Structure 1
Amino acid sequence: MTTMTKTAAHVLAATLDKHGVDIAYCVPGESYLPLTDALIDFPNIQLVVCRHEGGAGFMAAAHARLRNEVGVCVISRGPGAMNTAIALHVAYHDAEPVVFLVGQAEIDELGRNALQEMNYSKTFSDTSKMVIEVIDPTRIAESVARAFHVAQAGTPGPVVVVLPEDILYGPSDAEPLGPRKKALTAPSAADKEQALEMLRTAEKPLVIAGGRLHGKETLGDFTKFAEEFQLPVATSQRRFHVFDSRHPNAAGRLFNRAPGQMLEAMKESDLLLVIGERIGPSMSQGYTFPRAPKPDQPMIHVWPSTEEVGRNYEPELGIGCDPHEFIKAMMAEGAGDLPVSRIEWVKRLNMVHKEVMTWAPVSSNDGVVFGHVVTAIDKHMAKDAVVTCDAGNFSSWPSRFLHMGQENMFIGATVGAMGPGVPSGVAAGLSTPGRQIIVFVGDGGAMMTGNELATAIQYGVPIKIFVSNNNAYGTIRMHQAKAFPGRVTSTELMNPDFAAWGEAFGAKGFKIETEAEVDEIVAAAMAYEGPCVIETRVSLNHISPSARIDEIEAR
């Protein structure tokens, strides 16, 4: 009896199945049709059809963040790959493990400037951890298994697997491969002792916690660690859920352009423990806190990769290990005797944090100040809600005034890309169904990737999209006011009626035009069971909680 040889595409699909992939995000393309066909034989894998490759990439990156596993994006060659380049950039800078399966021209056509041919190794060398070109069908499973491993190892990030069209159509006798066991590193005995000594003796320590702290067990242990060692905890840019903002040890949020009074208090610290955070420009306030390259305070930096620890900073103690393993090592030894002044220090930072998160309502004659909407949402947000946020100054309102706990998830691109908001919300509904999903997006970002609302409708995702509409590229308008006061150009926008736009997709549309409408409309939208779009005609002048354009131009 003759055994039928499988196609390479079928081996690839089987390898995805063995890696536990249950969702992949795509825009279909002719260059990988054999793979979409092969996936029919694997009903456990849902292939989500998106409306733009950038949206598919953003969804895969959000999936990785939500589930702490590799996200998968399948895209066509050439133009499709370039459309998703922005998501690769985000995944790389935000340290999200994503495998991008990319189509390619047939092997015998390569080098002839074939239809949609690209040199992916050259193009994505700066925005991926590795580019793997499959040229041998017998090694397709090996290539994909390597991609999953590299995406999660050390500093997580995107890996590109290039799939020539004829390879996918052709036969392969390769056996599908499953995942390789992830190596977990712990601190050395010497590093553990030094870290304990530093944590036990500091009078004004401060923990800065980032997104590599992930999962119920890790976050629960992190809270116990902060409590036992009497440590105040600040959360990094767009990773606000890793420590409950209502906890007495909460010290604030280090979002971009964080409030001055909070930063001044934090700078009095005599020890920084930066854990699970890469330390980027937004969180560090332009590399001033911690100061680069040598911080003003002694610093312990804990990050999964030894390569990253010490890249931009000179920590007194750099530990390349799994953040949870570090926490477990500290807890195993215990806090010991701590300085008596530590309690008052924690209370002081918490008091400043509470002051910063308290909304003092203000009004404007050019639209609704977005803080009214955010604080109204806060009253109706579920305990395990997922909040996704696009880029723009509107994001400073939820960053400052929306409370979050460890059962929540806040997703946003720390690299500042516009476009992830709506696609990330769709991914939240697909990868963690049953949760309340709140999306914050500006009018600019909504017109970039808001078409993925169609994907939400198609797959039944009850997404709630709050559009902050000031008819401008507001962040650029703010920078323009600083650099070229009174000379407005290239930032004004003419927008659709976003409530009607949402209705056209099949969502419920709401519109907030006055402060008096905020509470009633937000309550109705939050109670609505299906997808909805809530447009707020917001003030352009009140561009953020700490800045007004008229005041900036008057300086």
Structure 2
Amino acid sequence: MAGIEARTGGQLLADALVANGATHVFAVPGESYLDLLDGLYAQRNRVELVTCRFEAGAVHMAEAHGKLTGRPGVAIVTRGPGACHAAIGVHVAFQDSTPLVLLVGQIPMTETDRETFQEVDYRRFFGPIAKWVTQIDEAARIPELMAHAFDVATSGRPGPVVVALSEEMQKHLVEAVDVGPAPVLPPHPAPDALPRLMAMLEKAEKPLAILGGSRWTDQGRADIARFLTANDIPVAVGFRRQGLFDGTSAHFAGDLGVGADAGLVAKAKESDLILAIGTRIGEPVSQGYTLFDMAGSKPIIHVYPDQAEIGRVYRPALGIVSDLNAFAAAAAALPPVASPRWAGWRASVRAAREAQAKAPSYEGPLNLAVALQELEKVLPADTIFTSDAGNFATWPTRFMHVSEKQDFLGPTNGAMGYGIPAAIGAAITHPDRTVLCFVGDGGALMTGQEIATAFHHGVAPIVMVFNNGMYGTIRMYQERTYPGRVSGTALTNPDFRLFIESFGGHGEVVETTEEMVPAFQRAKASGKPAIIEVRMNPEQVTNRATIAQLRAQATK
């Protein structure tokens, strides 16, 4: 092409990332993409290359970046083992509907189907857990396929795209034009969608909204809050979606997910109209598909950006295909229902939330519920929370409230090992904000080595390790099913304070209620990556039951 400078495939790939708006890439280097690494060196002033220690950690960081920005997080891993390690992060992005682009170095094309060193067929390997999987074998097609990868990751229901990169393709010199995002306007509600919604709402007596989904903007969250509060509708959030609605609002009903309050579950069953906005109404939200009748006896208005998800499990009374932020803007512009009849209903739903958030008396010197509520009072208004998976996560979910300008990132697929890398990814994305990670002792040692990445890139997340010396969730189920027969769930842990101090970070230990807030304040003031080890009473295996109580219930 006249006037076009020839570039290597590796340079074209790096330039394609820039053309499609990538500002960070999270990577574990490998020989299968040396030419891409060299291309990123040339773009080092436009794209920050974050060097990670484990591929799962790298993809979790990219996924957190995607959650916070609404743009595809980008991770790069090497072939074979690197891609296999990365798969858990792809699954998180798939079930969390997070835009993500994973680039995987691939074997030389000429060695395909010989089971050569580290060979994997990525179309077959990632096919069930990615929106699209492709492989680039011709450098000239890089701009086309990379642009399409970013488009697919963000269109409809967002999710992960995997792009394999043939090794020798990255060395080829070609002339090609960079291709950026297509200017596609988001889908808006159909002309009669909102009038029909309001007509159904006017007939209701006990409406309940459930918020979920991804790629909400600040304006979109403000708009949907304005619509729901103007109509006095109680609002629940889906599993680990606490950042979508102000938890301090009088309209907040709590979270429908794993460990949901029985009072909220009862209210959801009692409601006579569900506004499911952005949520797929998946297994955690639907309490194992028991919350509603799949045939649609309870009216559900389902708003989702992908028509394929509407009616997939629950038959709605009204399905609205729309970008969530576009729907929120349109709904917020509507005049509210005149004199809604459900003020008492909304108050009763809120009362149930307030009742479950009251701190009970727990045995021992540490009342974790009280400690977390005292901590909440001193947290910055724009704190970013990240959460790992496990029983520990139900403590902050039950007793704390994510406020309007705060963010909450957690794996809806229940992936342990997510919390610490996500906190690092969040801190790299927003280095000016406080990032607080909640993680159990099990998850902390799955990806805790990624704390080295925080030091390497100069960010300082605060990690709160809830240490009870066990895989607590599995122990809970074990005690319910096989009381007293402890098998495989006990753990041996390091001193987590010494662990972080060995990196040069700040360590704290909390063993009493009164120690929590001062420990956090010292950790924040240190300006270093920090771990606060919360030494819990192992007998208190959940915030609602002790091991002795579980055993007693199981033997009745």
Global fold match (TM > 0.5)? yes
Partner of 1:113: 115
SS at match of 1:196: helix
- Unaligned runs of 5+ residues in structure 1 are none
Distance in structure 2 (CA, Å) of the matches to 1:249 and 1:2: 60
Q: What does the per-residue CA deviation read over 1:413-433, in whole Å, with 9 as the maximum and x for residues that have no partner?
A: 011010110000001111112
Match of 2:241 among 235, 239, 242: 239
1:403: how far off?
A: 1.3
Distance in structure 1 (CA, Å) of the matches to 2:184 and 2:533: 44
Distance in structure 1 (CA, Å) of the matches to 2:329 and 2:202: 16
Structural mapping, 1:47-62, within 5 Å: 47-62=49-64
Distance in structure 1 (CA, Å) of the matches to 2:266 and 2:5: 70
Alpha-carbon spacing, 1:40–1:491, altered in 2? closer, same or farther (3 Å): same
Q: What does the per-residue CA deviation read over 1:333-377, in whole Å, with 9 as the maximum and x for residues that have no partner?
A: 3224243x222222221122122222234223xx84532442232
Partner of 1:94: 96
Match of 2:422 among 424, 427, 430: 424
Match of 1:478 among 476, 479, 494: 476
Distance in structure 2 (CA, Å) of the matches to 1:516 and 1:189: 56
Partner of 2:8: 7
Partner of 2:334: 333
The number of equivalent residue pairs is 551
Partner of 2:127: 125
1:189: how far off?
A: 2.1
SS at match of 1:206: strand
Is the Cα contact below 8 Å between 1:369 and 1:542 reproduced in 2? no
1:525: how far off?
A: 2.7
Q: What does the per-residue CA deviation read over 1:266-300, in whole Å, with 9 as the maximum and x for residues that have no partner?
A: 322110001011222112211222x2523552100
SS at match of 2:333: helix
Is the Cα contact below 8 Å between 1:441 and 1:467 reproduced in 2? yes
1:140: how far off?
A: 0.9
Match of 1:159 among 161, 179, 186: 161
Shifted more, 128-137 versus 251-260: the winner is 251-260
Match of 2:216 among 214, 217, 229: 214
Pairwise CA RMSD = 1.7
Alpha-carbon spacing, 1:131–1:387, altered in 2? closer, same or farther (3 Å): same
Shifted more, 53-62 versus 255-264: the winner is 255-264
Partner of 1:149: 151
Structural mapping, 1:472-511, within 5 Å: 472-511=470-509
Partner of 2:351: 351
Q: What does the per-residue CA deviation read over 1:296-321, in whole Å, with 9 as the maximum and x for residues that have no partner?
A: 52100111100011111111111121
Alpha-carbon spacing, 1:152–1:20, altered in 2? closer, same or farther (3 Å): same
Is the Cα contact below 8 Å between 2:209 and 2:235 reproduced in 1? yes
- Unaligned runs of 5+ residues in structure 2 are none
1:537: how far off?
A: 1.1
Is the Cα contact below 8 Å between 1:196 and 1:330 reproduced in 2? no
Match of 1:463 among 455, 461, 464: 461
Is the Cα contact below 8 Å between 2:101 and 2:149 reproduced in 1? yes
Partner of 1:46: 48
SS at match of 2:437: strand
Distance in structure 1 (CA, Å) of the matches to 2:313 and 2:152: 23
1:327: how far off?
A: 2.6
Partner of 1:194: 196
Q: What does the per-residue CA deviation read over 1:446-477, in whole Å, with 9 as the maximum and x for residues that have no partner?
A: 10001110001111111100001111111110
Moved over 6 A (4+): none
Distance in structure 1 (CA, Å) of the matches to 2:159 and 2:293: 24
Shifted more, 206-215 versus 405-414: the winner is 206-215
Is the Cα contact below 8 Å between 2:375 and 2:516 reproduced in 1? no
1:255: how far off?
A: 2.9
Distance in structure 2 (CA, Å) of the matches to 1:308 and 1:535: 41
1:213: how far off?
A: 6.3
Counterpart amino acid of residue 506 in structure 2? K
Structural mapping, 1:283-362, within 5 Å: 283-289=285-291, 291-295=292-296, 297-339=298-340, 341-362=341-362
Distance in structure 1 (CA, Å) of the matches to 2:394 and 2:229: 28
TM-score (norm 1): 0.96
Structural mapping, 1:172-183, within 5 Å: 172-183=174-185
1:523: how far off?
A: 3.5
SS at match of 2:130: coil
Structural mapping, 1:516-535, within 5 Å: 516-535=514-533
1:3: how far off?
A: 6.9
1:516: how far off?
A: 4.6
Partner of 2:431: 433
SS at match of 1:125: helix
Is the Cα contact below 8 Å between 1:369 and 1:538 reproduced in 2? no
1:380: how far off?
A: 1.7
Is the Cα contact below 8 Å between 2:217 and 2:325 reproduced in 1? no
Distance in structure 1 (CA, Å) of the matches to 2:157 and 2:47: 27
Counterpart amino acid of residue 512 in structure 2? T
Distance in structure 1 (CA, Å) of the matches to 2:38 and 2:337: 60
Alpha-carbon spacing, 1:391–1:2, altered in 2? closer, same or farther (3 Å): closer
Is the Cα contact below 8 Å between 1:255 and 1:399 reproduced in 2? no
Alpha-carbon spacing, 1:248–1:40, altered in 2? closer, same or farther (3 Å): same
Partner of 1:25: 26
Q: Percent identity?
A: 38
Is the Cα contact below 8 Å between 1:246 and 1:403 reproduced in 2? yes
1:546: how far off?
A: 1.8
SS at match of 1:267: helix
Distance in structure 2 (CA, Å) of the matches to 1:114 and 1:212: 39
Shifted more, 483-492 versus 511-520: the winner is 511-520
Counterpart amino acid of residue 322 in structure 1? D
SS at match of 2:180: coil
SS at match of 1:384: coil
1:533: how far off?
A: 0.6
Distance in structure 2 (CA, Å) of the matches to 1:294 and 1:505: 56
1:328: how far off?
A: 2.8
1:200: how far off?
A: 2.1
Is the Cα contact below 8 Å between 1:292 and 1:312 reproduced in 2? no
Is the Cα contact below 8 Å between 2:198 and 2:337 reproduced in 1? no
1:379: how far off?
A: 1.9
1:528: how far off?
A: 3.4
SS at match of 1:40: helix
SS at match of 1:181: coil
Alpha-carbon spacing, 1:476–1:549, altered in 2? closer, same or farther (3 Å): same
Is the Cα contact below 8 Å between 1:389 and 1:441 reproduced in 2? yes
Distance in structure 2 (CA, Å) of the matches to 1:2 and 1:227: 57
Distance in structure 2 (CA, Å) of the matches to 1:194 and 1:145: 37
SS at match of 1:467: strand
1:265: how far off?
A: 2.7
Shifted more, 384-393 versus 165-174: the winner is 165-174
